[in-house]
Amino acid sequence: MSDNNKAMRKLKLHVGMSIDGCIAGPNNEMDWIDFTWDEKFREYEDRLHEPVDTILLGRKMTDDFITTWSNFVKKPDDPWYPFAKKMIETPKIVFTKSLTKSEWPNTEIATGDLKEEITNLKSQEGGDIIVYGGASFDSSLIKENLIDEYYLFINPVAIGNGKTIFGDLKEVRKLSLVESIAFDSGTVLLHYEVKRN
């Protein structure tokens, strides 16, 4: 395949969400997200991350993300240990305007124009890219139409007031449903692809 025709790497958004469209409370509360993940859920996460070789994070999300998975890595008997190990070992890129060097292992810093940086990253050789947020970072990626696939994990809860990720859209964004999966916890995965002209 020529360079002009080679497939771009996919950018996938992975996010937990309430049924009223919030991904965090007004003060970043996430205690309403159901973390009673069963074997079916873990197996799905493993499949989702199989082709992924890069993780993107916003600055505000990075500390919690790396701390959480680092704690799981300390527990080899935990069912999440293999997945946590992959989360820690997968190279990460943190998008920030406040840092010039990484505070975390296996992590690079990106400070340039978001659209330019992501477009360049997607054009490079490699596997898929997955993004975990937080809210403002996700919103910026969505606004610039950089997300290729959405993995929305809808939790069976409404929180009434919180942070959303689609509020900056200036036009209708049409998506195609790829699959939906209900887990025993009541969380439902909605997997969408962006319709590109």
Domain ranges of the chain: 11-194
Q: What pLDDT is stored for residue 6 in this prediction?
A: 63
CATH of 11-194, one of 3.40.430.10, 3.40.980.10, 1.20.140.10, 3.90.550.10: 3.40.430.10
Angle, alpha carbons 33-39-40 (nearest 5°)? 80
Q: Helix, strand or coil for residue 168? A: coil
Q: Which residues of the chain have pLDDT under 50?
A: 1-2
What's the confidence (pLDDT) of residue 8?
Answer: 87
Q: Please report the pLDDT score of residue 1 as a whole number.
A: 41
| Helix (H), strand (E) counts: the chain | 5, 8
Give, in order, the Cα–Cα distances in Å from 42 to each of 76, 128, 137, 161, 183.
16, 19, 25, 29, 11
Q: What is the rounded radius of gyration, in angstroms, for the C-alpha atoms of the chain?
A: 17
How high is the pLDDT of residue 2? 44
CB 173 within 8 A of CB 165: no
